Amino acid sequence: MKKLLNTLLLLLPAFAFAQSAKMAETMIRIWGDSLQLAGRPAHWTYDQGVVLEGFTGLWKNTGDGKYFRFIQTGMDHYLEKDGTIRTYKAEDYNIDHIKNGRSLLLLYKVTNEEKYKLAADKLKAQLDKHPRTNEGGFWHKKRYPYQMWLDGLYMAEPFYAEYAALFHDEAAFKDITRQFVLMEVHSRDARTGLLYHGYDESRQQKWADKTTGRSPNFWGRAMGWYGMALVDALEYFPQGHPGKDSLIQILNRMAAAVKKYQDPASGCWWQVLDKAKEKGNYLEASASCMFVYALAKGVRLGYLPASYSAVADKGYKGLTKQFVRPAPEGGVNLEGTVSVAGLGGDPYRDGSYAYYLSEKVIVNDPKGVGAYMLASNEMEQAAIPKTGKGVTVTIDNYFNNEFRKSAAGQPESWHYVWNEMDNGGYSLWGHIFHNRGATTKTLSAAPTAATLAKTDIFLIVDPDTQKETTQPNYMTDAHAEEIYNWVKKGGVLVILQNDAGNSEIKTFNKLTGRFGITFKEDSRNHVEGKQFEQGALFLPAGNEVFPHTKKIYIKEISTIATAQPAKAVYTDKGDVVMAVSKVGKGTVFAVGDPWFYNEYLDGRRLPASFENYQAAVDLTEWLFKQVVRK
């Protein structure tokens, strides 16, 4: 049965992220221009940011441009060209207002538009001046002095960490670690392992225990925010940073408590976590979604033991049954989310059990919807068969070795590299590899037997000319011999050339010619402006490499001449566009275009009729099948 299920999943198209897509359909219908929230005039609010996080994950998993446009439209409504954010007031020192900064950073990385960076800079400037407790913890808001709430960690720290990583601010990670450590030290209950909603350093609030400063109850969504904050911030911590180990330990302690208080019957979690049997308590949707997301992502990234997958799976099945209902207009509705819960304020919220039960429970609350999309994205990623488990995919950064200035003004490698999110990067293809269990690496030195032995699949893309790099590293007979011998032993080589004038071809043919593949130094499929159909190619049914793909887009292709042992796997109008060669135990796939860079996969530019994202999935799965498993 398991083998059959895996086979069926492999046959699904790339866009089969069904539950998250259904929730997105509802949000686009209800919140069509992403400018209004629950019927209120649009204002800068963290609620929107949570929903946009869900859309970000769905966009990466599908390459469907409508999800990216939803994010961009939502943020653009608030931004001026100079990065000014309409309705945002830095002087309020409200930590909630930092949340949307992650959407700004995404937009900046993908589009390179300066206004997104300038707006993100303004949020970072708020953090730089944000009032703190005497120990250095961010106040939740200026109007809530000396208070730290679990919610605030999610609102600020993932953005803070992502910004620090982008701008190489190593010192920031010590401060980020401090926020999580202080919150746990002051809010964690040793007996249950749960964290109280808030902590008042001054002990002045009526809700604060006069000895500990803690609020009196364990609110589900508050701990959900904290869990999501941990897994999202951890992604950006530098390897080897001591704070990373500290946060992983905190996450593991939190996960143990979350598992302990999961309702055994439903798989969900309660509004007040430790009072399952008390009158009036209820299973709550947003907390359940957040816990599923934090646990599933923690397992995927290796921060939590694999055993937590079962907890996440039980939770996801439970919340789907408990809270998710088909919407008559299409899509789904999410029931059972408490609209809000806080501490202090006017009218005063005392943090009592009765208070947490008094707030309204509503349908399609954006906090719940965003968390549900995040949980669905993770669980649907987890359901993809891990056909690439144990496989290492390495991209060359020697023959293609271009540099530019980074956001921080430092030299950085770019153009067909894994971590680049703009048009010329391979971040989405890397995401496809990761979703299937593979590891991606980069080789920046000349290939040798020793370095190639560490990889299963080796990608060489668009070898440099002097136009791109002052001193290009050209293919030599010695390099070709090393790579040829590696392929003979079982290596899988992927050649993504480019057309004449945009790539070094003549010398590079020293390598490809050994496999019977010669690039012709020509250029076909020229596309004028947005006349994308000029770049359309149609794959016949039964293509061995692309069994689920029909229409693809490739422009300015260097065509191929084949000789034994190579064979054409796709021709068009008499031209060989793609070829495969088998040598010894290994395999070579070649096409005359860099092809799977983000501009071709992300749906922002190409019409939806092109299936390049699906083609990337098909090629990925085919490459895995060529790997000689040790």
Closest CA to 381 of 3, 19, 114: 19
Altogether, the residues listed in the chain come to a count of 630
d(CA 215, CA 234): 27
| Six-digit token string for 598 | 């983000």
d(CA 612, CA 618): 10
Cβ-in-10-Å burial (0-12, 13-18, 19+) of 445 comes to exposed
Q: Tell me how crowded residue 129 is: count the other CB atoms within 10 A of its CB.
A: 10
| Six-digit token string for 250 | 């905190």
CB 151 within 8 A of CB 140: yes
Strand partners, 571: 576
Q: What is the four-CA torsion angle of 244, 248, 250, 253, rounded to 10 degrees?
A: -170
Cβ-in-10-Å burial (0-12, 13-18, 19+) of 619 comes to buried
CB 475 within 8 A of CB 399: yes
HEC profile for 443-496?
A: ECCCCCHHHHCCCCEEEEECCCCCCCCCCCCCCCHHHHHHHHHHHHCCCEEEEE
Q: Tokens 């001054």 appear where?
A: 202
CB 205 within 8 A of CB 158: no
d(CA 140, CA 328): 40
CB 203 within 8 A of CB 213: yes
Q: Find the helix or strand (DSSP H, E) in which 534 lies.
A: none
The backbone torsions φ and ψ at residue 434, rounded to the nearest 5 degrees and listed phi first, read -65, -40
Q: What is the four-CA torsion angle of 175, 180, 181, 183, rounded to 10 degrees?
A: 120
Region of 458 (left: φ > 0; alpha: ψ -120 to 50; beta: rest) is: beta
Strand partners, 194: none
d(CA 212, CA 199): 8
Would you please indicate which residues are annotated as catalytic (active-site) residues?
Answer: 151
Closest CA to 247 of 173, 147, 354: 173
253 to 230, 256, 306: CA distances (angstroms)? 12, 5, 15
